[in-house]
Amino acid sequence: MIQARVIKPHDIEFFEVPAPEAKDLKDNEILLRIHKIGVCGSDIHVMHGQHPFVTYPVIQGHEYGAEVVAVGKDVTAVRPGDKATARPQLVCGECGPCRNGRPNVCEKLRVQGFQAPGCAQPYFVVPEDRIIRCAPHLSYEQIAIMEPCAVGIHASGRTDVKGKNVIVTGAGTIGNLVAQAVKGRGAKKVLITDVSDLRLEKARECGLENTANTAKESFEDAVKRVFGDEGFQCAFEVSGVQKCITDLVANIEKGSDIVIVAVFSKNPEVNLAVLDEHEIRLIGSMMYLHEDYLLADGMLADGRLNVDPLVTQRFGFKEYNEAYDCIDNHREECMKVMIDLEATE
């Protein structure tokens, strides 16, 4: 089979390697046929040589839709023919967080596609404890987007959003999915902000009706327009931009939570005097737990998550480099770029 490897920044090359075979599976292992791989922001950092925790060469691919080809003799979670994906987190199982049921922040966390080989090849083996059996009516593309959905679901579960007015700053793929997950969990009203009309248009296509372009309307005016005198009681920062965290801290109702989902490339300033006096809590959110994937599958299956508008471009497996060129040249227009492996062997 053909494997795609990032040899060095800006250079993906293809290598012929032996395909894993059913007869070599361990008792707890599953052989997958990879159909679609999604490209995400972190992959782009790897391609640009800007990911702090990656050494080259690296095999990418951590968001994927696959079909079960064969299973080891102890596997009961899936059967050949099932649609599936798997969590890309490799954890130690022994550290404090792992023992406390929080393996997403394992002290020795390695993520496939970054610190461990990813799935950029037609056949891939995963152990049963990371497999997700997906609703059969989901497409392989929808399943490939389950990973960022799980990010949104995990973040939206870090505080209680039920019945609250919620703001999500940043309408990229992750902000969009955080906002959809917040809505799906029963928030009263959700406002999503961005400085890109294109991204906000996508948000509306996904069913997020309250949007604001804060390059054109002030944050305070948008809050007033959407929530009236009620204000907002919960927020998610998903842009990584200083102004957003400043606006959120300054305007959120006293006693509320702000979940930080974005990775800030520059350490932002936060007004701790206001944080203190207003009893605002800043809460981190890192990837997901297995249950977040299961909820993502359920919310995709019942339509609470609408991911179809997020797929903006599609490329064949051998066009991996072209996919990244497209992302570099059309950053705003590119939301989820899909790599299609269906024609590969």
Ligand X SMILES: NC(=O)c1ccc[n+]([C@@H]2O[C@H](COP(=O)([O-])OP(=O)(O)OC[C@H]3O[C@@H](n4cnc5c(N)ncnc54)[C@H](O)[C@@H]3O)[C@@H](O)[C@H]2O)c1
Count Cβ atoms below 10 Å from residue 319 Cβ, excluding itself.
15
Q: Indicate which of Zn ion, ligand X, none lies near residue 125 (CB less than 5 to 8 Å, by partner kind).
A: none
- Return the structure tokens found at 205: 């296509």
Question: Residue 15, Cβ neighbours under 10 Å: how many?
Answer: 13
Q: Classify residue 102 by burial, with Cβ atoms within 10 Å: 0-12, 13-18, 19+.
A: middle
> Where do we find the tokens 């928030």?
187
- Provide, rounded to whole angstroms, the least separation between the CB of residue 79 and ligand X: 31
Give the contact letters, 41-80, x = binds to ligand X (CB under 6 A), - = no: x---------------------------------------
Token couple for 72: 């080891």
Smallest gap from Cβ 261 to ligand X, in A, equals 5
Nearer to Zn ion, 123 or 288 (CB): 288
Return the number of the residue (149 or 261) whose C-beta is nearest ligand X: 261
Minimal distance in Å, beta carbon 333 to ligand X? 11
* Tokens describing residue 26: 């361990």
Asked whether 67 and 83 are in contact (CB, 8 A), the reply is yes
Q: Which is nearer to ligand X, 103 or 122 (CB)?
A: 103
- Least distance (Å) between residue 121 CB and Zn ion: 18
What phi and psi values does residue 4 have, to the nearest 5 degrees?
Answer: -95, 125
Q: Given the complex with ligand X, which of 41 and 316 has the nearer CB atom?
A: 41
**Residues in contact with Zn ion by the rule CB under 5 A:** 40, 91-92, 95, 98, 106
Nearest to 116 by CA among 14, 221, 46, 190: 46
- Applying CB under 6 A, the span of 29-37, 84-92, 94-102, 170-178 interacting with ligand X comes to 170-178
SS (H, E, C) 70-116: EECCCCCCCCCCCEEEECCEECCCCCHHHHCCCHHHCCCCEEECCCE
Task: Report the residue number, 176 or 344, with the smaller CB distance to ligand X.
Answer: 176
Site for ligand X in 193-232 (CB under 6 A): 193-196, 199, 214
CA 201/CA 206 separation, integer angstroms: 9
Size of the site for ligand X (CB under 6 A): 28
Asked if 261 is part of the footprint of ligand X (rule: CB under 6 A), the reply reads yes
List all residues 6 or more positions away from 201 whose beta carbon is below 8 Å from its beta carbon. Answer: none
The two three-digit tokens of residue 49, written as one number: 């040589």
Q: How far is the CB of 231 from ligand X (least distance, A)?
A: 19
Q: Using the rule CB under 6 A, is 38 a contact of ligand X? A: no
Under the binding rule (CB under 6 A), the answer on residue 190 touching ligand X is no
Q: Using CB distances below 5 to 8 A depending on partner kind, what does residue 141 bind out of ligand X, Zn ion, none?
A: none
Binding site for ligand X (CB under 6 A): 40-41, 151, 169-175, 193-196, 199, 214, 238-241, 243-244, 261-263, 285-287
